[in-house]
Amino acid sequence: MHTLEQLLSENKTWAAEKHLADPSFFATSAKEQKPEILWIGCSDSRVPAEVITNAEPGEMFIHRNIANQVIATDFNSLSVLQYAVNVLEIKHIIVCGHQNCGGVKAALSRQNHDLNITNKWLMHIKQIYRLHQDELDAQPSEEARINRLIELNVLEQVQTLAHTSIIQKAWAERKAPTLHGWVYGLSDGLLAPLVTLEPGCEIHPIFQYDSLTA
């Protein structure tokens, strides 16, 4: 476990090594960012996006929250989405869940009186469980039930992205971004793709916008 002093020391070592390998790295990085990917992941400390993908600083725009959710009334995630799509003009959005997700496990349990705010956040996952309860309850083990709900949650978040005016407008105007749903395996460190939605793919009519300026 790193102490705060160790973190600062490690930062100095990293910065020195980075400068030695590429003297212009920080000067270039300070000017602007041009990531091609928006990563929407879980806040879990075991799933750092840059580390598990071996990405460099500047390659991904990242938003993380409990259980990697995209909620239509959450201005935090929507503002990240809008900036990434409209300003950075990213080409891909990845929603990445992970095995043994604590948020998903908590959503399968009775609500905790001491976590009133968290309960509200997890309500959306509880609704996914309710809609797929027969399938989930038929899983052969509790671990399998949790991991299947993790997959269903990722699939739902990708659909939610496609239902936003931000994505639909970008699809109409510049045929991007492509949406992806992945799950990270804590036990093997590998990413497993679940779904890809190409720009302009079919969306249920009730989620389509009549006006692309909505």
Nearest to 197 by CA among 210, 209, 164: 164
From 2, 19, 22, 42, the catalytic residue: 42
Active-site residue identified among 63, 64, 96, 98 = 98
Q: Do the Cβ atoms of 41 and 49 come closer than 8 Å?
A: yes
Q: With CA atoms as reference, report the closest residue to 123 among 142, 110, 138.
A: 110
210 counts as catalytic: no
Which is catalytic among the residues 101, 124, 145, 163? 101
Place of tokens 């950075």: 88
How far the first Cα of the chain sits from its last, in Å, is 48
State how far the Cα of 203 lies from the Cα of 105, in Å rounded to an integer.
30
18 conformational bin, left if phi > 0, alpha if psi -120 to 50, beta if neither: alpha
Q: 44, 63, 124, 163: which is the annotated catalytic residue?
A: 44
Is 101 catalytic? The answer is: yes
For residue 184, the cross-strand partners are 98, 191
Q: Which residue has the tokens 């300026």?
A: 213
Catalytic residue status for 42: yes
Indicate the length of the chain as a whole number: 214
CA distances to 36, 79, 91, 93, 190 from 101, in Å: 27, 25, 27, 20, 15
Which residues are catalytic, by number? 42, 44, 46, 98, 101
